[in-house]
Amino acid sequence: MSDYRALYRKWRPRDFDDVCGQDGITDILKYEVAAGRLSHAYLFCGSRGTGKTSCAKILAKAVNCENPRNGNPCNECEACRSIDAGIATDVIEMDAASNNGINDVRDMQDEIAFTPALLKYRVYIIDEVHMMSAQAFNALLKTLEEPPEYVIFILATTEYNKLPTTIVSRCQRFDFKRIATDVIISRLLAISSQEEIEITEDAARIISRVSRGGMRDAISLLELCAGARKKIDDALVFATVGSGNRESAYKIIEAVVKSDFETVYSIINDIVMKSGDLSVFWQEIIDSYRDIMVVKNSDRAKVYLDLTDAEYAALSAIASDFSMARLSYHVSILESAMADMQRAFNSKRSIAEIALTRMCDARLSESNEALALRIEELERAVKMIKLGVAPVSQPAPEEKKTVSEVQAPKNDAAVKKSEKPSALQLYSGWGSVIKKISELKRSLSASLASASAYTDGGGTFVLRMNDFFAEKLSSSETDISIVRGTIAESEGKNAAEIKIIIEKNQKAPSGASELDELFK
């Protein structure tokens, strides 16, 4: 296709069956047209790009079509072709945003007195009808109440709450919903295939996410990306939109968690030097925090998130470092900074860097959210001390040990792999132990979730894990101490009485190399 500017016009729905994501609405409209039970006024409500105006034009064609097919327009007769071409004098489109005065309504009322010139019905499509003035609504009210038989009104609005109840009560209302991500992706891939545009599925998913459920916006963004005359991937989409990608947002979140000020300032500097919009990037960070909150609170998080597989894997790893108190503290600062950026346009960089610095250290803020985070960290430190683990912010690097060398520090509480107990039975309290560990260190509990725990009924516990997680646990004295202390607390024993044996007797799960990279 040589002219990408015509892409949306070419792929705009032509009949009710072609309207994506609005099956219930289109079925009702088809039935009414086929049965001849037409209303004198329709009200289409919904967010932008969901098909309100397109559906209004299809309805205008359907009621005037010379050869309708089960309620759908034929798109071949003279009436259908003239409406498609925009030359039908009996189908009038009005933009209420610019024609919202009482005089505009009175001019329309004067026209209504005359019968249609060529078509069966004169159809008035009034877009963004909520923008009309109060006087214009009052003038329109009488016409909506008792219009001539040959006139049909179709009102479209994105803000239903702004319409007077007197107008709403005189219309048949239809609510257009946002189009599902998978539907938009399928449509974009089909269009790209027909137009010979190269596009990756991840790029189509990102376009769908940016369009926020609007098919029109998705196709328009596909047009812009196709203008580069090269394969559309996620990098090209982000460059076209004018925002940093999710990878940059995830990096800055990880840096905030680690209090890595150097990385924080470096990422902000890169965005500014590349003339990126910090407000758009800030919204990406806020959206990422929302995704983290969903991951932490739902077992079906992937269903609710419009993320690629790589983005979801990275986000899940980041979420393990967050508590709800930390999330609440960070989100409160992000929202405040966003409001400040909208007021002080020329100080976005300063606002962003100050906000991120405060997010790195809760001691720099006296807000309720910051105090809640500091209290939670103190409570976690106290729990660690009770378990016999001294909490440290940055543990010194240790030489990696093999599984067979894992021992308790000084008190011989852990035994070597060779010292196996004789009779083992499945440890019934393992699930409770993992739940308690998740309150202290979520990443550790995730590592232990696939392990099997056995006990000899005394103080010896055997953890059977795959190679990757066994090596990871064995290399951390802190993690072993947390496991030992939590088991001791659950069993009502002293930590010194608990012996831990780690065995590698399970095959690594498929994709273990990916997990290795993820943890790195």
Model-wide pTM > 0.85: no
Confidence bin at 146 (pLDDT 50/70/90): confident
Structure tokens at 17: 């069956």
Q: In this structure, are residues 460 and 499 in contact, taking their beta carbons and an 8 Å threshold?
A: yes
Q: Is 177 exposed, middle or buried (0-12, 13-18, 19+ CB in 10 A)?
A: middle
Distance (Å, whole) CA 464 – CA 230: 51
What is the chain's length? 520
pLDDT digits (tens, 9 = 90+) for 160-181: 888 998 899 889 999 998 888 8
Report the distance separating Cα 5 and Cα 400, nearest Å: 59
Contacts 24+ apart (CB under 8 A), 277-281: 277/242, 277/243, 278/341, 278/348, 278/349, 278/352, 279/338, 279/341, 279/342, 279/348, 280/241, 280/242, 280/243, 280/244, 281/243, 281/244, 281/248, 281/249
The per-residue pLDDT for range 287-321, each reduced to its tens digit, is 889 988 888 888 788 888 877 777 788 888 888 77
Distance of alpha carbon 518 from alpha carbon 61, whole angstroms? 55
In this prediction, residue 245 carries a pLDDT of: 65
Q: What's the rounded mean pLDDT across residues 190-203?
A: 88
Alpha carbons 25 and 12: distance in angstroms, whole number: 17
Q: How many CB atoms lie within 10 A of CB 519?
A: 12
Triad 499, 410, 480: Cα angle to 5°: 45
Residue 220's pLDDT is 87
Q: In what order do the strands lie in the sheet with 122-127?
A: 91-95, 122-127, 151-157, 41-46, 172-176
Confidence of residue 385 (pLDDT cuts 50, 70, 90): low
Q: Are 169 and 41 in contact (CB under 8 A)?
A: no
What does the pLDDT average to over 455-473?
79
- Work out the percent of the chain whose per-residue pLDDT is above 90: 9
Structure tokens at 151: 């006139």
Mean pLDDT confidence for 217-233:
86
In sequence order, what are the beta bridge partners of 462? Answer: 454, 501
Name the nearest CA neighbour of 7 among 192, 179, 237.
192
Greater model confidence, 458 or 514: 458
pLDDT tens sequence across 57-72:
999 999 999 888 888 8
* Residue 194 to residue 458: CA distance in whole angstroms: 69
Name the residue with tokens 């599984």: 403
For 175, the enclosing helix (H) or strand (E) is strand 172-176
Q: In what order do the strands lie in the sheet with 425-426?
A: 425-426, 452-455, 460-466, 499-506
Smallest CA-to-CA distance from 459 within 507, 510, 408 is with: 408
Token pair 């606002």 is at which residue?
351
Average pLDDT over residues 6-13: 79
| CA angle centred on 268, ends 266 and 271, rounded to 5° | 110
Please give the Cα distance from 66 to 281 (Å, whole number): 52
Is 70 exceeded by the pLDDT of residue 77?
A: yes
Q: Indicate if the pLDDT at residue 115 is higher than 50.
A: yes
Q: How confident is the model at residue 380 (pLDDT cuts 50, 70, 90)?
A: low
10 Å Cβ neighbour count for 292?
A: 24
Say what the pLDDT of residue 479 is: 79
Predicted confidence (pLDDT) at residue 223 exceeds the cutoff of 90? no
When the pLDDT of each residue in the chain is averaged and rounded to a whole number, the result is 79
pLDDT, position 457: 75
Q: Which amino acid is at 266?
A: S
Residue range 101-119: mean pLDDT, rounded: 85
In the chain the first and final C-alpha atoms are separated, in Å, by: 45
Quick: pLDDT tens for 421-434.
557 788 878 888 88
Q: With 90 as the cut, is the pLDDT of residue 345 above it?
A: no
Q: What is the pLDDT of residues 119-143, one digit of tens each?
A: 899 999 998 888 888 888 888 888 8
Give the pLDDT band of residue 98 (cuts 50, 70, 90).
confident
Amino acid at 103: N
User: What is the signed CA dihedral for 461, 467, 473, 476, rounded to 10 degrees?
Assistant: 130
The residue whose two tokens read 């680690």 is 258
Say which DSSP state 42 is in: E
Which band of pLDDT confidence, cut at 50, 70 and 90, is reported for residue 406?
very low
Q: Which residue has the higher pLDDT, 278 or 397?
A: 278
